Amino acid sequence: MALENLRAYKVCYLLPMPILQPSSSVSSLPRISCVVTRKWRCWRMGQSQPTHTRKKNSMQLPRAAAAAVDIEPQNASTSNSNVLLEVKGLTAVVTESRQEILKGIDLIIHQGEVHAIMGKNGSGKSTFSKVLVGHPDYEVTGGTVIFKGENLLDKEPEVRCHSGLFMSFQSPVEIPGVSNMDFLRMACNARRSTLGLTELGPLEFYGFLSPKLAMLNMDPKFLDRNVNEGFSGGEKKRNEILQLAVLEADLAILDEIDSGLDVDALQDVAKAVNGLLTTKNAVLMITHYQRLLDSIKPTYVHIMENGRIVKTGNASLAKQLEEGGYRAIADV
Ligand SMILES: Nc1ncnc2c1ncn2[C@@H]1O[C@H](COP(=O)(O)OP(=O)(O)OP(=O)(O)O)[C@@H](O)[C@H]1O
Ligand SMILES: [Mg+2]
């Protein structure tokens, strides 16, 4: 069920709601809907409310996270005008088991910044990203998340995406029966319509896509294949960045985008991400390794431990980690 949830999540997350409605006249509906589990469709069509978006959560007072985290969010004293994301005291549990994973996260990301989150396996990095994009496996139990001045936790997953929040998965899912090209174009048009832009037809879209493919050194033949189906690990990661390039997100969350990439692919992906960075957007990348940070320079490096950000520094923190392991930074 976990994989099905994730697959359905990716489809629902990137595509507009009407495509998922049985009454939709969109011709690609049968192919799209076949990969969306019945459970998920019921869930998304309002027959039951996702727990993580219940108003109750957004009304809860932020937990006194400062007491639990031994660092202040960086740039706390700078102007709020260019804040993209502000997370305060975020706590979350696994929806089914009620196990608490996030235990009070504080993080502020401004436009133009690159943040890296590092941390031991199982410290909660992926959970944090998935909670931000509204994954139903998790329920927010406290804290606040403001994205571009609005309460993110109240929004449906696809609204979060179309308003400019993108996440590339640590393990990208295959979506059988859905062509990569159709998927990218529908996702792109959903975002464009949110921005008040005209939708792109197939030919126009191909013109829009071509330079992005070239930037990633991706063969156009990947467009004719089903989303990630049979792709190698590295090809899947490139495809995630292609989705990001198409969506032109304001905040990109990249969960271990470097894992499974060969040296050349890492350079292609890093070049593409650097090429997408502007003074208006930002990147939050999760990684275990310094090598990614050599190519995509972080403004801040955070260390996550047991569901909290316990240390924040600059790129030198990652270097210390690389050289001496987590023990080396424990007392810094
Ligand atoms: N859906 C879930 N059901 C049960 N446990 C979960 C679930 N999601 C996360 N966890 C648990 O929460 C903890 C944090 O997981 P998470 O995937 O966020 O770690 P991570 O920091 O991304 O680790 P890694 O570096 O290995 O990717 C782990 O112990 C994991 O088993
Ligand atoms: Mg992870």
Task: Give the CATH number of the domain where residue 245 resides.
Answer: 3.40.50.300
Residue 22 pLDDT exceeds 60 = no
pTM summary value: 0.82
Ligand 1: does its nearest atom lie under 6 Å from the Cβ of 124? yes
pLDDT at 88: 98
Residue 19 pLDDT exceeds 60 = no
- DSSP class of residue 87 equals E
| Ligand 1 atom closest to the CA of 170, numbered from 1 | 27
Strand partners, 86: 108, 146
Nearest CA to ligand 1 atom 18: 124
pLDDT at 79: 54
Cα torsion 160, 162, 164, 166: sign? positive
pLDDT at 8: 55
Q: How far is CA 277 from each of CA 245, 253, 266, rounded to the nearest angstrom?
A: 10, 13, 17
Ligand 1: does its nearest atom lie under 6 Å from the Cβ of 122? yes
pLDDT at 328: 83
pLDDT at 60: 28
Mutation test of ligand 1: which of 97, 125, 133 has the most ligand atoms closer than 8 Å to its C-beta? 125
The set of residues, in sequence order, having a beta carbon less than 8 Å from that of 34 and lying 6+ positions away, is: 177
Q: Which two tokens stand for residue 42?
A: 């019921």
Under 8 Å between Cβ of 299 and 285: no
Q: What is the mean pLDDT of residues 128-132?
A: 95
Under 8 Å between Cβ of 283 and 273: yes
pLDDT at 175: 84
pLDDT at 30: 36
pLDDT at 158: 80
Nearest CA to ligand 1 atom 5: 94
Q: Which ligand is nearest to the CA of 136?
A: 1
Per residue in 197-236, pLDDT tens? Answer: 999 999 999 999 999 999 999 999 999 999 999 999 889 9
223 Cα: distance to centroid of ligand 2 (angstroms): 27
Ligand 1: does its nearest atom lie under 6 Å from the Cβ of 121? yes
Per residue in 249-288, pLDDT tens? Answer: 999 999 999 998 999 999 999 999 999 999 999 999 999 9
Name the average pLDDT for the chain.
80
Under 8 Å between Cβ of 52 and 134: yes
pLDDT at 26: 38
Q: Which ligand is nearest to the CA of 169?
A: 2
Residue 34 pLDDT exceeds 80 = no
194 or 8, higher pLDDT: 194
Q: Cα separation of 168 and 121, whole Å?
A: 18
Residue 25 pLDDT exceeds 70 = no
Percent of the chain with pLDDT over 70: 75
Number of domains in the chain: 1
Single-letter residue type at 165: L
Residue 165 pLDDT exceeds 70 = yes
Host domain of residue 95: 2-330
Per residue in 40-87, pLDDT tens? Answer: 444 433 333 333 333 333 222 222 222 222 333 333 334 567 999 999
Where residue 302 falls (left for φ over 0; alpha for ψ -120 to 50; beta otherwise) is: beta
| Ligand 1 atom closest to the CA of 127, numbered from 1 | 18
Q: Which residues surround ligand 2, an ion (CB under 5 A)?
A: 125-126, 170
| Ligand 1 atom closest to the CA of 124, numbered from 1 | 18
